[in-house]
């Protein structure tokens, strides 16, 4: 049986004869778009040529202008004043909560406000000075006034919506007298800066025993707080719970309780719970039930009235696939968020 030759597909020449109507319309549209694009390119080239000649009296063509690199700042400006704020859900909360992040205060504390506004935060944390060195210049009147102005302009109450973080260098449990004086000077300087700015809460790490007996270290922390409270008038010193390990104080609720018990003015002391530190120290937060149990333990040992803020810090251990998801708090703006309580 003879093999039949393959059937040839009819060829279509769109320049000759009449093409099928659907194809003809598509081709006509493509040709039209191509013609328009060509026309626009020619017009742009002619306009550029005219500009070069008219801009130079000697007729010498100008060198092409250098291309500007697209920067991250330019990209942000193109997106509008608050590109991140538009993607956060703080404003949509049914019940008012103070939620934000630790924002940069580079160049002066006044710059923390626009940085908080940029991410849509209605609360924020910041460093009042460099946390990496002992000696810092005094805060200027201009920085203070701009901070207060920016707070007023953007609707922040520094007393309720700001939670500065203390220097990582400071250890109020320091047993060495000279080093203890150095730590205290930096600590009380921060409290005075808070008072200048109208800030009511100040968050800090309790410190380390450095190998000394724990009861003695706890007593030194409380003694330094009592001294600082006498030398300042209003700021509430907020102890942060710690992850533990080694000589660190604050991993157990009992550590925080014991410091507070030795503080004379109970209205000037509080606690900030860092969820990452708490989980690392053995406090389970992986389910709503576990969270409630942990908070019940805190209430029993320390007391709910001392809770002033949360550092809601997501960690890989809390988010691991083998573990249940963390409780459904409002999504943070950054890995660290502050929820201060007035």
Token code pair at residue 81: 């004043």
> From residue 75, how far is each of 70, 78, 104, 144, 337 by CA, in Å?
7, 5, 19, 30, 25
pLDDT band at 119 (very low <50, low <70, confident <90, very high): very high
**Cα distance between the two ends of the chain:** 96
* pLDDT more than 70, % of the chain: 63
Buried b (16+ CB within 10 A) or exposed e, 287-301: eeebbeebbeebeee
The secondary structure of residue 6, as a DSSP letter, is P
Distance CA 278, CA 251 (A): 7
Half-sphere exposure of 95 (CA within 13 A, CB side): 4
Answering whether pTM is above 0.95, one says: no
Closest CA to 128 of 204, 69, 58, 75: 204
**Residue 270 backbone phi and psi in degrees, to 5:** -155, -170
59 within 8 A of 292, measured Cβ to Cβ: no
pLDDT band at 336 (very low <50, low <70, confident <90, very high): very low
pLDDT band at 25 (very low <50, low <70, confident <90, very high): low
Residues in the chain: 342
């Amino acid at each position: 049986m003879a093999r039949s030759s393959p059937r040839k597909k009819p060829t279509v020449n769109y320049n000759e004869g009449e093409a099928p109507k659907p194809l003809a319309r598509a081709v006509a549209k493509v040709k039209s778009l191509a013609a328009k694009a060509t026309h626009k390119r020619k017009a742009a080239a002619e306009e550029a040529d005219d500009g070069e000649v008219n801009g130079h009296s000697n007729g010498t063509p100008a060198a092409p202008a250098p291309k500007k690199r697209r920067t991250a700042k330019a990209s942000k400006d193109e997106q509008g004043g608050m590109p991140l704020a538009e993607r956060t859900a703080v404003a949509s909360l049914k019940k008012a909560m103070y939620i934000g992040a630790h924002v940069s205060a580079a160049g002066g504390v006044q710059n923390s406000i626009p940085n908080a506004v940029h991410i849509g935060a209605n609360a924020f944390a910041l460093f009042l000075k460099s946390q990496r060195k002992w000696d810092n210049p005094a805060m200027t009147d201009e920085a203070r006034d701009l901070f207060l102005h920016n707070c007023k302009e953007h609707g922040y109450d520094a007393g309720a919506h700001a939670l500065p973080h203390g220097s990582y260098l400071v250890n109020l449990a320091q047993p060495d007298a000279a080093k203890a004086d150095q730590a205290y000077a930096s600590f009380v300087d921060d409290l005075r800066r808070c008072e200048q700015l109208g800030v009511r809460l100040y968050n800090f790490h309790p410190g380390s025993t450095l190998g000394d007996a724990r009861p003695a270290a706890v007593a030194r922390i409380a003694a330094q707080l009592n001294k600082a409270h006498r030398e300042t008038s209003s700021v509430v010193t907020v102890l942060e719970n710690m992850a533990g390990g080694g000589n660190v104080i604050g991993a157990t609720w009992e550590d925080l309780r014991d410091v507070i018990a030795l503080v004379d003015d109970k209205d000037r002391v509080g606690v900030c719970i860092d969820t990452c530190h708490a989980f690392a120290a053995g406090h389970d937060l992986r389910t709503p039930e576990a969270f409630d149990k942990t908070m019940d333990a805190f209430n029993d040992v320390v007391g709910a009235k001392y809770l002033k803020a949360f550092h809601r810090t997501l960690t890989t251990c809390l988010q691991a696939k083998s573990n249940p998801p963390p409780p459904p708090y409002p999504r943070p703006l950054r890995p660290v968020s502050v929820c201060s309580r007035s």
